[in-house]
Every structure is written in C-alpha cells, then in structure tokens.
Chain A
Amino acid sequence: MRVVHYLNQFFGGIGAEEHAGAELEFRAGAVGPGKLLEELFGDGAQIILTIVCGDNHAVEHQEEIIAAVVEKLKNTPADLFVAGPCFDAGRYGMAAGALCNAVQSQLGIPAVSAMHEENPGVDLYREALYIVDSGASTLKMREVLARMASIGKKLVGKEEIGLPAAAGYLARGLLRDQLVKEKAATRLVNMLLTKLRNDKFTSEMAPTAFAPVPMPAAVKDVSKAKVMLITDGGLVPKGNPDRIQGTAATRWGAYNIQGRDDLCAADYEVSHGGYDTRFVQESPDRLVPLDALREMEKNGVIGKLHDEFLSTCGRSNPLSNTRRLGREMVEKIKREGVDAVILTST
C-alpha cells in the first residue's frame, strides 16, 4: 500500500508558530509521525510522499495548495491519502480537511484525517470524510495513528468501516438501514431500565448540536434595499413544476412575481405535509406576504421587491440536506444583489 501523508510545519519538523508561513513542500518518504504511522500500517505499507505546509500559508492560499497537491498526486501512484492528526489545531484541520476532500473527490483516492471534535475542520468536512476523533492532546498520538491506519486499510481494501463509535471516527451524519434483533419497544424499555439503574446507555438518536450563527449586519436603509421573500412553507405554482417534495424536500424553486400585486389562489398550491394548508391555499399572501411588500415598494418603504420568491418545504428534513438547500439559495441571493431577505416559516 502506497500512502501520501500531509503534515503542518510543526509535525513536519520545520518549527512552531513562527514558521506558520512556510510554503508547500514535497518530501520523499515518511516524516515525523509518519514514521510511526508507516509502522502501524504494517504489511509493507509505505509512505511514499510527505507533503508539508505552514498553517498560515495553507489557509491563506488554500486553492493554490489544493491545485498543487492534486497536480502532484496525478503523477504519484498513491492508494491512500492521510492528513494529520491535527488535534485541536484549527488551521491545520481546515487545510487537512480541504486537501482530503479534494484528493478524494477529484482523484478518487480515499482519504482519512484525525481531529478534535471542536476543530473547525470537523464542521466543514465531517460529512465528506472519515475523521478520527483524536481528542485535543498529542499524548494519544500512537492510539490515534493506529485508528487512522485501521480505517485507511479498510478504505483501500473497500471493506466496511463500521459505526463511528466502534471504529473511532466522528459521526458523519449519514443514515443507513440496519437489521436488529430486538424491536424498538424492547430496546426502548431496556434503555429506560438501564437509565433508571444509573448505568451507561447509548441513545439511538444523537442530539443535534447547532453551532451559533453570527448575526448578519443590519440593513442600513431598507428604503434603498432590494428585498427578497423566501418561504419554507411549500408554496409552489399550480402543478408544482419543480416537484418539490412535501416532506424531506431535496429541491427548492424560484417563482416569478413580476407585475403581480398579490398571490392569486388559483395560481398556486402548497406542497407541505406538515400543516393544514387550507388557509394558505385560500390566500397565499398568508404565507408569502406579496401584497404588503408590493404596497411598500410602491410607497418607497423598501427600495425594490425582488422579481422572484424562493420556496421549499421545511418538513422533516435532515440538516445535511437543508444546509445544502440554504447554500444554494445564498449563491443565488448574492448573485442577484439581494440586500435583505424575509423568510416566512410554518
């Protein structure tokens, strides 16, 4: 097995923070923790190339670095890409995650990294990558490298990786079916009894943690702003042209309202299986307040109402999906110069 290993300037032996500007370099063979990693892989596995870059340089020139590494690996016979472990070093984690993601998606070379759960690289890449849970302390280096080696070997051999807790990586937020012996009621009662005995139990539903969203700056003057309406209440034109699903929607649509003073019931329907939609169907302005905003546009209260409203259905949707929908909408919003959005949610 031929492995390529990415390290920052510290683990690459260049130096500490004062060398964080160190430029990208390629070195033949294993370096620093790579030597132990090679030993843990066993079976004649070899680190054929080590890539080292300073943390600041990697983050400030991320696109260049990715392009250079991808170019280099096109001509390197690598079976696996390993980055880190990065522990709680944020810039290191972000660079490692970006490189693993690029190498994996652009070249089809499987990748594995390791980070502390709070490393910002985790939030960015946990869905795309196997990231070993390294904790914050470098004292666990050997154990962390062993888990990276184990997952790496499985990836190369296209073997089942196993569940996050068992294999020691951070949950990727993926759902999959599994056959189990006991039915839900039995498992639930057993879990409750375990809890009542004050013993340790593992829930089957991991609580979702939400990172705080920084507040966007206020709009200076809405009378000069272009305002857009968005809803997650599922209002769509008659016939639902984008086939937006009424539950766990994977799509959203943009619908023209140019020249309209309010939303006419005959032209719209609602694709949402989570609330009684009769009132909105009767009068869609009850969900997308076009009439009020059109008036305000005419009276100069707002600068301009955007010519389209966006719509999707916000019911029972996994976060990974809604994040993607949100990102796609934001691209459009930015491209079309919208200054402010009113999002109505049922």
Chain B
Amino acid sequence: MVGSNRVVLGTGIVHVTGDAKLPMAEEKELRRKLVQQALDALQSSEKR
C-alpha cells in the first residue's frame, strides 16, 4: 500500500489473514501470528 509506514505481508490477496490450504487449527495459528506482527509493528517506530 503506497505511503503506508507499517506493512505486514499477508498470506495472499484472496485470504490476507488466513490460508485456505491449511487445516483450521493451523490457519488460526497463522492468523494469530500475523495479527501479532501487526501489533508489534504498531508499537515500533521502525518503517517496515
């Protein structure tokens, strides 16, 4: 996203915070990780 200072790379355009190929429990774990990365980015002043 142009101009965004804090970007976390999602899993793909069709399921940004998930992965349809994974079993549900693993998909949820992946989502926790992505959201945690976003929260870490929010608490950091480093551009990413």
Point out residues on A near B: beta carbons under 8 Å.
210, 212-213, 215-222, 225, 227, 233, 275-280, 282-283, 285-289, 291-293, 295-296, 301-302, 340, 342-346
A289 in contact with B35 (CB, 8 Å)? yes
Minimum C-beta distance from B3 to chain A (A): 4
Residues of A within 8 A of B10 (CB): 344-345
A340 with B42: CB separation less than 8 A: yes
The binding surface of chain A is classed by DSSP as: loop
Task: Write out the residue numbers on chain A whose beta carbons fall within 8 Å of the beta carbon of B44.
Answer: 218
Complex interface: chain B residues within 8 A of A275 (CB): 13-14
Number of interface residues of B (CB under 8 A): 28
B15 near A279 with CB under 8 A, answer yes
Which residues of chain B come closer than 8 Å to A291, judged between CB atoms?
28, 31
Closest B residue by C-beta to A212: B3
Some 10 contacts from A to B, beta carbons below 8 A apart, are A219-B43, A222-B42, A227-B39, A286-B20, A286-B31, A287-B18, A291-B28, A292-B34, A301-B39, A346-B14
Query: When the two chains form their complex, are residues A346 and B16 in contact, meaning their CB atoms are under 8 A apart?
Result: yes
> Which chain A residues border B34 with CB–CB below 8 Å?
289, 292
Residue pair A219, B18 in contact (C-beta under 8 Å) = no
| B31 in complex: contacting residue of A282, A285, A346, CB < 8 Å | A285
A292 touches B17 (CB 8 A): yes
**Chain A hits for B36, CB < 8 A:** 296, 301
Contact of A213 with B43 in the complex, beta carbons under 8 Å: no
Task: Mark each residue of chain B from 4 to 22: 1 if its CB lies under 8 Å from any CB of chain A, else 0.
Answer: 1110001001111110100
Residues in chain B near residue A286, CB distance under 8 A: 15-18, 20, 27, 31
Q: Is B14 a contact of A218 with CB atoms below 8 Å?
A: no
Q: Is the CB of A346 within 8 A of B5?
A: no
Most buried by A among B2, B6, B39: B39
Contacting pair A295 B5 (CB below 8 A) = no
Residues of B within 8 A of A278 (CB): 14
Q: What's the minimum C-beta distance from B41 to chain A, rounded to whole angstroms?
A: 9
Most buried by B among A220, A292, A342: A292
Contact A222 B16 (CB under 8 A): no
- Assess the B16–A218 pair: CB atoms within 8 A: no
- Residues in A with CB closer than 8 Å to B6 are 215
Task: Point out the residues of chain A lying under 8 angstroms from B35, CB to CB.
Answer: 289, 292-293, 296, 342
**CB nearest to A232 among chain B residues:** B1
Q: How far is the CA of A282 from the CA of B20 in the complex (A)?
A: 9
Q: List residues of chain A with CB within 8 A of the CB of B42.
A: 218-219, 222, 225, 340, 342
Chain A: CB-nearest residue to B35? A292
Name the A residues within 8 Å of B5 (CB-CB): 213, 215-216
| Contact across chains for B16 and A345 when beta carbons are under 8 A apart | yes
